Chain A
Amino acid sequence: NAGVTQTPKFQVLKTGQSMTLQCAQDMNHEYMSWYRQDPGMGLRLIHYSVGAGITDQGEVPNGYNVSRSTTEDFPLRLLSAAPSQTSVYFCASRYRALNEQFFGPGTRLTVL
């Protein structure tokens, strides 16, 4: 199993540009989540999904959209990038609600 994969690893955007961060898992996990981590901080939950077709907001959802058309994929869309969205983004998945979460390697995003 590849586990949780994220692409790209690094990305630089200009203010106002849009892009999609990709996340995929091959463990048949129902639950998937997106987090962001700013310097010196813990991770903050952006959006999460409890299964294909079902998504919900986390702590800091503004400026981000998600969709879950398949069990495997959970892309995160930045509609109009802002410098405040400069961060490291982690995707995670787990089999059931209280199971351990598996995290991807992260995407480092800089918005100029």
Chain B
Amino acid sequence: DAKTTQPPSMDCAEGRAANLPCNHSTISGNEYVYWYRQIHSQGPQYIIHGLKNNETNEMASLIITEDRKSSTLILPHATLRDTAVYYCIVRVGGYGGSQGNLIFGKGTKLSVKP
């Protein structure tokens, strides 16, 4: 399974864009990049996912480099409620029952400051 590397922590000013990087240099061609976040001690929450094209939804944008070895999650206007641990995950590929299982790293702790 492809492994991801994220900075352990980042700060962002309220109202500014938060750009969270992720390296996944061993990603396979059929593996998706997923982002989840965990606010305080709640269960993780899905944010967005993509394969090779940039994606946008109501929460965030995902920019994946052309070689797919890295990606960036963008929260366009961060609020205090976006303070959380953000996990970049490469979804288990292939077939069979393990397909789609999430393998979590330690993530990036984003602190949004007023």
Residues of A at the B interface (CB closer than 8 Å) are 4, 31, 33, 35, 40-45, 48, 50, 54, 56, 58-59, 88, 90, 92, 94, 96-106
| A105 with B101: CB separation less than 8 A | no
Residues in B whose Cβ lies below 8 Å from that of A35: 104
Q: Report the Cα distance A59→B104, complex, angstroms.
A: 11
Residues of B at the A interface (CB closer than 8 Å) are 32, 34, 36, 41-46, 49, 87, 91, 97-107
Chain B residues touching A, majority SS: loop
B91, B106, B107: the one within 8 Å of A98 (CB): B91
| A104 with B43: CB separation less than 8 A | yes
| B107 with A105: CB separation less than 8 A | no
| A-B pairs, 8 with minimum CB distance | A103-B43, A42-B104, A97-B100, A100-B46, A97-B99, A43-B104, A50-B97, A98-B100
Chain A residues touching B, majority SS: strand
| A92 with B43: CB separation less than 8 A | yes
Q: Report the Cα distance A106→B107, complex, angstroms.
A: 19
